[in-house]
Structure 1
Amino acid sequence: MAETTLSATRTLAKASARLKVQNINAPLWRNAIFVLPYLFFFVTLLIVPLFWGIWLSLHKADAFGVGRFVGIDNYLRLFRDKIFIQAIGNTFYFVLLTVPALAIIGLMLALALNRKTRTAAALRTIYFSSSVLSVTIVTLIWRIVFIGNFGLLATIYGWFGATPPAFLSDPKLAMIGIAIATIWWCVGLPMMLFLSALQQIPGDIYEAAALDNASRWRTLWYITLPSIRRTFALVVIIQIVLQFQLFGQAKLMTNGGPNNVSKPIVFYIYEAAFTKWDLGLGAAASEILFMLILVAAMAQYVISRRKGEEV
């Protein structure tokens, strides 16, 4: 009996010694098993294609394989191409048309529908429902609206004996027509993000403002907007990243026309890589698009962060 007790005591002493030696804060590498699937897909689908695209952009490549190393020749060819320069301008113009409108309209809808009523819930569902549609359905709907002579817009204008604007064929209106369809399609996500932020603002602040007889405008300007400024910056950055990648709407509504005025960078990449089979040129254009998105998103982040620190 004494030997059994002594053996048990020694076992407990050894276990306690091992626990003392082991550092509580030491990393347990077996926990890496839980992040390995994510790391695998992150590296496979993002990191590897990024560096593969950079490598491909420095070579003469086509559908039959990668050829000789050409350095920055593909990039020089891009900046000598007037259509590519025009595509960059078209993309920036589209971003300027859509991103501010999506942020402002999304915020206005969120402010209007931030109520605990059945009507507000139904309207939130209706406004968000367009976001789940595919680009094919969205462009089909808006082609029916914009198409000349017998479209919905032409029918409404015809009631008043007026001529409808040619959104799909007028060089000055083609990109505006695509922007209208895109805003209608994408406004649901900004609205829901703003709604989530508005519902996180404590009600005590509004009650204190009401006791001070603060007007709705002052409450909005000094309480609501400062409280959601980070969400506003997030919405703008997300929309910049998304709208720089315009392709489906331009392809299906105007096919990049008329005269390339609605051809964005992604459309140019598609034509270069999969129509002309110049993969090196398409990869170079993709890297330039990546840098433009990165610079635009980081600039917006820095500006919004500085404004937040000043407030």
Structure 2
Amino acid sequence: MTSARDWRGFLFVAPFLLLYSVILIFPLLRGLWLSLNQVDLFGAGHFVGAGNYVRLARDPVFGASLVQTFEVTLMIVPALTVIALALALALNRGGRGAALMRGIFFSSAVLSVTIVTLIWRFMLAPDAGFLGFAAKAFGVEPLPFLSDEHLVLPALAVTTIWWSVGFPMLLFLAGLQQIPEDMYEAAALDNAGRWTTLWRITLPSLRRTVVLVVMLQTAAQLQLFGQSQLLTAGGPSGASRTAVLFLFETAFGRWELGYASAAAEVLFLIILAVTLTQYWATGRATAAQDGR
């Protein structure tokens, strides 16, 4: 009887397991096999073992793309988390005005990366862009955000924050609405001020939401691609080439699928290691606070 019930349970989840294997497991294993071969789109290729990985370790372009990926991620994730939390705190109230503002701030999240880059190309262009006109109006020389090696990554970060802020804002709003109202009523009875309530009640209650937002955004920004390709094409002089853009150029520019697959496996392991480290570190911090 138990065996028949187990089989019925397996048949129930079998369609999902099949789809999961086809969409995720098979491409992962296929990519791992490709990374061990020297292959392109037009030939069968041949087995080279760890040769692609040795080549990656010696490739300064790939190394620079990883460094730039980490730099832009560090620019985006903390700022995005703080801005999204601030917006959620400001808009966590009833009324049509707050609902309208929530819709406005979330609206950028539904835009495609192509539209986002077109908007910010218009904003950042020093000659014909909005910021360029504003700088000239104040008698200041416009900054070449997209053609200066020191400004291009901050420009990508600002573009990405503007585009991505809506979803983490909604996560924080959901977290805020789960905090019991009687906690705030008790704080009011104790004459706790706004900052005391924020630091003693709101932020500790949002700890898990903050962890979720940071982990999701870190994994997402380590895969940043569209903004870099469409806004700057990796320039100037490769200063905004991210790891995924390196993969794209290698696979579809030079047709080196094996080499690109090896780079993809390395990036996958980096993202996995970073997110697991974040989960472990925040788990220990949460356990330490709960044990007080």
TM class by smaller structure: over 0.9
- Residue 26 of structure 1: CA displacement? 7.3
Residue 5 of structure 1 is matched in structure 2 by: none
Residue 108 of structure 1 is matched in structure 2 by: 86
Q: Which of residues 99, 102, 107 is equivalent to 1:124? A: 102
CA distance in 1, matches of 2:195, 2:80: 21
Residue 247 of structure 2 is matched in structure 1 by: 269
- Single out whichever of 222-231 and 30-39 deviates more from structure 2: 30-39
TM-score (norm 1): 0.90
- Residue 28 of structure 1: CA displacement? 4.0
The residue type paired with residue 109 of structure 2 is S
CA distance in 1, matches of 2:284, 2:85: 21
Aligned pair 1:44/2:28, yes or no?
no
Residue 61 of structure 1 is matched in structure 2 by: 39
- Residue 35 of structure 1: CA displacement? 2.1
Q: Which of residues 232, 241, 255 is equivalent to 1:254? A: 232
Q: Tell me the secondary structure at the aligned position of residue 150 of structure 2.
A: coil
The residue type paired with residue 185 of structure 2 is E
Aligned pair 1:216/2:166, yes or no?
no
Q: Which of residues 52, 66, 72 is equivalent to 1:74? A: 52
After superposition, the CA RMSD in angstroms is 1.3
Q: Tell me the secondary structure at the aligned position of residue 179 of structure 2.
A: coil
- Residue 116 of structure 1: CA displacement? 1.0
The answer on whether the counterparts of 1:146 and 1:152 sit within 8 Å (CA) in structure 2 is yes
Q: Tell me the secondary structure at the aligned position of residue 62 of structure 1.
A: coil
CA distance in 2, matches of 1:80, 1:125: 48
- Residue 110 of structure 1: CA displacement? 0.4
CA distance in 2, matches of 1:186, 1:193: 12
CA distance in 1, matches of 2:111, 2:71: 24
CA distance in 2, matches of 1:66, 1:201: 58
The residue type paired with residue 49 of structure 1 is P
The residue type paired with residue 198 of structure 1 is L
Residue 133 of structure 1 is matched in structure 2 by: 111
The residue type paired with residue 93 of structure 1 is E
Q: Which of residues 280, 290, 307 is equivalent to 2:258? A: 280
Aligned pair 1:290/2:268, yes or no?
yes
The residue type paired with residue 28 of structure 2 is L
Residue 70 of structure 2 is matched in structure 1 by: 92
The answer on whether the counterparts of 1:59 and 1:66 sit within 8 Å (CA) in structure 2 is no
- Residue 29 of structure 1: CA displacement? 2.0
Residue 147 of structure 2 is matched in structure 1 by: 169
- Residue 120 of structure 1: CA displacement? 0.7
The answer on whether the counterparts of 1:194 and 1:231 sit within 8 Å (CA) in structure 2 is yes
Q: Which of residues 270, 279, 288 is equivalent to 1:301? A: 279
Q: Which of residues 220, 224, 233 is equivalent to 1:242? A: 220
Deviation sequence 1:126-182 (CA, Å, 0-9, x none): 000000000000000000000121110011111111112211001000111111010
Q: Tell me the secondary structure at the aligned position of residue 65 of structure 1.
A: coil
Judged with a 3 Å threshold, the aligned counterparts in structure 2 of structure 1 residues 129 and 31 are, in CA distance, closer, same or farther, namely same
Q: Tell me the secondary structure at the aligned position of residue 146 of structure 2.
A: coil
CA distance in 2, matches of 1:183, 1:26: 52
CA distance in 2, matches of 1:116, 1:237: 29
Q: Percent identity, aligned pairs only?
A: 52
CA distance in 2, matches of 1:29, 1:59: 40
Deviation sequence 1:11-55 (CA, Å, 0-9, x none): xxxxxxxxxxx45x9734223333222212210011011111111
The answer on whether the counterparts of 1:56 and 1:66 sit within 8 Å (CA) in structure 2 is no
TM-score (norm 2): 0.96
Bigger radius of gyration: 1
Structure 1: unaligned runs, 5 residues or longer? 1-21
CA distance in 1, matches of 2:210, 2:5: 37
The residue type paired with residue 118 of structure 1 is R
Structure 2: unaligned runs, 5 residues or longer? none
Judged with a 3 Å threshold, the aligned counterparts in structure 2 of structure 1 residues 26 and 231 are, in CA distance, closer, same or farther, namely farther
